[in-house]
Chain A
């Protein structure tokens, strides 16, 4: 699957392409949400306000983005600004300023996570689906097994195999792995 680059998406959004805008939102929704809810630990109402404000600013200001490939850092910085403004209004700003390293580490982890999520889009549909269900939607082996009509053991081995394929995508120069051993990843029922 050839996903559009950020620069391509931004360019199409500037041309008024609503589908490109929807794709941009889909691509970064988890990232923006995670910064607001996990890094800055905003409650649901504040996180929603920040989430909508960030995409609203993005929609308004795409024309002013100097480098179309810089969408990700721009969104991260805008989310940080909105989150800090929210905390400032609620009198919690000091708590944030006391732990800048924690904030930076949290953002670095999310940047890495976003890269992994983007790589997921380059896997075959069966791998994308099973990894999405298990890791992102937090479904159990039992649920996945029932939904996909697969034995639980196959679910476990497919998750392991697909993780290895995802690693191949992330590290294209790596030596091919030995044949899968049916190793189980995670211990969810």
Chain B
């Protein structure tokens, strides 16, 4: 194998992840700010907290936040008693 072929192999070794995954990761700073807003509300609004515990995904959608797996997992951890 020539050095150029070796380089070509290396270039092919890293596949492109789906665009949506990369965009979601890039938006983490903004997503985190939204999460903090939601968590503040969870802390001061018991009704909202109960709604979130009962159906977290629907509550997030109603608040205009996409319920991605990371967002849901993060909030579930924080909602646990």
Interface residues of A (CB under 8 A from B): 16, 18, 21-22, 25-26, 29-34, 37-38, 48-49, 51-53, 55-56, 59, 109-110, 112-117, 120, 131, 135-138, 160, 163-164, 166-167, 170-171, 185-186
User: Nearest Cβ distance between residue B72 and chain A, in whole angstroms?
Assistant: 11
Distance in angstroms from A135 CB to nearest chain B CB is 4
Q: Which of A16, A33, A56, A135 makes the CB contact (< 8 A) with B28?
A: A56
Also in contact, A160 and B4, with CB within 8 A (given A29-B17, A30-B14): yes
What are 28 A-B pairs with beta-carbon distances under 8 A?
A: A16-B29, A18-B29, A21-B26, A22-B26, A25-B25, A29-B22, A32-B17, A33-B15, A33-B17, A34-B15, A51-B17, A51-B21, A52-B68, A53-B70, A56-B70, A112-B10, A113-B11, A113-B13, A114-B14, A115-B10, A116-B10, A116-B11, A131-B11, A136-B11, A136-B12, A137-B16, A160-B4, A185-B5
Q: Which residues of B contact A166 (CB under 8 A)?
A: 7
Q: Which residue of B lies closest to A132 (CB)?
A: B11
Question: Which residues of B, 19-51, contact A by the 8 Å Cβ criterion?
Answer: 21-22, 24-26, 28-30, 32
> Which residues in A have their C-beta under 8 angstroms from that of B12?
135-136, 138
Q: Are B14 and A49 in contact (CB under 8 A)?
A: no
Count of residues in B whose CB is under 8 Å from the partner chain: 28
**Chain B min CB distance to A47 (Å):** 8
CB contact under 8 A between A21 and B29, given known A52-B69, A135-B8:
yes
- Residues on A with C-beta less than 8 A from B17 are 29-30, 32-33, 37, 51
Given A116-B7, A163-B4, A167-B3: A51 touches B25 (CB 8 Å cut-off):
yes
Q: Which of B8, B10, B15, B29 has the most CB of A within 10 A?
A: B10
- Complex Cα–Cα for A22 and B25 (A): 8
Q: How far is the CA of A138 from the CA of B74 in the complex (A)?
A: 36
Kindly list chain B residues whose C-beta atoms are within 8 Å of the C-beta of A38: 13, 15
A120 and B17 CA atoms in complex are apart in Å by 18
Closest to A30 in B: B14
Tell me whether A26 and B26 are in contact (CB under 8 A). Answer: yes
CB pair B21 A48 closer than 8 Å:
yes
Q: Which residue from B11, B24, B32 sits with its C-beta under 8 Å from A117?
A: B11
Residue contact B8 to A185, C-beta cutoff 8 Å: yes
Enumerate chain B residues within 8 angstroms of A49, measured Cβ to Cβ: 69-70
A55-B15 CB under 8 A given contacts A135-B8, A163-B7, A185-B8 = no
